[in-house]
Structures are given as C-alpha cells and as structure tokens.
Amino acid sequence: MDALTYTLACALQEEIEGIEYNFDGVEFFNWSRIPNAKWLGLLSVGIISASLMTAAPSFAQTMSGTRYVSTPNGGCLNARTGPGLSYTAYKCVSNKAVLAPIVGQKGNWYKLSTGRWIYKPYTALTPSSLSVGGTVRQVSTPKGDCLQARVGPGTNYKSDMCVSNGATLKPIISSRGDWVQLSSSRWVYGPYTKGMSSVGVGGVSVKRGSTGLAVRQVQQKVGVSIDGVFGTKTEAAVKAFQTKNKLNVDGIVGPQTRKVMGL
C-alpha cells in the first residue's frame, strides 16, 4: 500500500507540474485501489490544474539550433500528439537522440516540425548549436533584456553581472545542457545567445594591430588563442595558412584569404 501511495503521489505531482516521466510497467491510475476519499480530492485537483495548464495561451516561434533528448534518468522521451500528458504518446524517443527542428512552443512543451510535441526541460541544445570551441556569440534575449552571467550552469548559481542585449560575449569553451561557459569562466543561458555575423562584411581586412570580433574569428580559423588582438602569433599563423593554401603571404586577412577561410 505504501508503494501504491508513493506512486500515486508522484503521478499527481507530475500531472500538476506538467512533468513528463517515463515509468515503464507502472500503471498510475488503478481506480479500484485508490485508498480513500482524500486521494480522490487530490486527484481532482491534479486533473483541474493540468486542464488549466493545457489551456494556457501559447506562442509559436522558430527556434535556432538543434536539440536532443536529455532526460534525468536516461530514459526515452514521449513525443505526443499535443502539448500535455493528456495527449497520446506517438512514440518514445531515445535519450541523446537528435530531435526534428522546433517550430513552436506552448508552456513547457516544444512542437517539432513533425507535428509532435515533447517536454522542453528534457531536451538540450547540441554542442554544435551552442558553438563550443571559440566561436564568438552575442546576447540575444527574447525581450531585449540583459543576460545574467553566472558562476555556474543554472539559475541557482550566483549572478556576477547582467550583459546587455546585443553585446559580444567572450568565446565559448564548454557547455552543460543549455548552458555555455565563457572563457571568463562565467556561464550564460545558451538559447539567449546567437552567432555573430561573419568577418569581412563591407570589405574589412584585418592585420597586425587590429582588434575586435573580426580578429577573434580569424584566430579561431587559424587555431591560435582567441583574445581579439592581432599580434605576432596571429600574424605568423595567418602567414602559415596563406602558405599552405598558396595565397599571397603577407599576414593580412584580405578578400582572398577571407574567402579561403570561409569568412
């Protein structure tokens, strides 16, 4: 009876909070074995709460980046016919599997391009979407607010500062779920950032003494430390790149060198 009570309690809490769990072989609602009237009252509250959540206003948006399944216990994640536990589970997507593009959102549920819905907190952006490895990104929050830079990967960690919307962030060196760590060691929420535009827009060339975003992108391409300052090491690396690709070896990243670099 204790086990049944615990199972019912978990099911009720999950239904109220809209949490998606996959308990294999567990039958949550065995009506003939509900202990007492108190449980009936709790279950009715859960059903009403879940209905209110499902009816909440939705907003659709095209999400940038690719996401994958990331469940707490490593189980599969149900892809449902609608945004809630009351909808039919079409299939259970394996943990770590890459999902179809996100095309809409309703509360804590994402709509895939296939028309199915999955529970947002049990997904995460792929490392490639977060541009780990030095690619420069900028703050891009939904409402134009600043973005908190924290001492760890989560909202429970202390915030050191709030970075203005549109500001260039330091290079990303690692990720954990939807959180990315900057070269400053601080963490920011990945979905509220976006990649910067490519260097060379407007015919800009960079060379020794140049600074800024363009230099950072060049440094990433030639494999030197990314600090945004075009010094002797960056110049030497650019010359090596030009030699390897049979370009004019002058240490200046002009139109031809940019083109070969893919910038």
Find out whether 61 and 192 touch, Cβ atoms under 8 Å. Answer: no
Domains observed in the chain: 2-54 (no CATH), 67-125 (2.30.30.40), 137-195 (2.30.30.40), 213-261 (no CATH)
Backbone angles phi, psi at 242, to 5 degrees: -65, -40
pLDDT tens profile 85-121: 999 999 999 988 888 888 888 888 999 989 999 998 8
Please state, in angstroms and rounded to a whole number, the distance separating the CA atoms of residues 130 and 250. 34
The pLDDT score that the predictor gives to residue 127 is 60
pLDDT tens profile 159-208: 989 998 888 888 777 778 788 888 888 999 988 887 764 444 334 678 88
The pLDDT score that the predictor gives to residue 54 is 36
The pLDDT score that the predictor gives to residue 87 is 95
Asked if the model's pLDDT at residue 51 lies above 50, the reply is no
Please state, in angstroms and rounded to a whole number, the distance separating the CA atoms of residues 202 and 188. 30
Question: pLDDT: is 4 or 70 the higher one?
Answer: 70
Other beta carbons less than 10 A from residue 6's beta carbon: 10
Question: pLDDT: is 56 or 1 the higher one?
Answer: 1
- Supply the pTM of this predicted model: 0.42
pLDDT tens profile 58-80: 333 334 467 888 888 888 999 99
pLDDT tens profile 211-263: 777 788 888 889 998 888 889 999 999 999 999 999 889 998 888 888 888 87
Find out whether 171 and 216 touch, Cβ atoms under 8 Å. Answer: yes
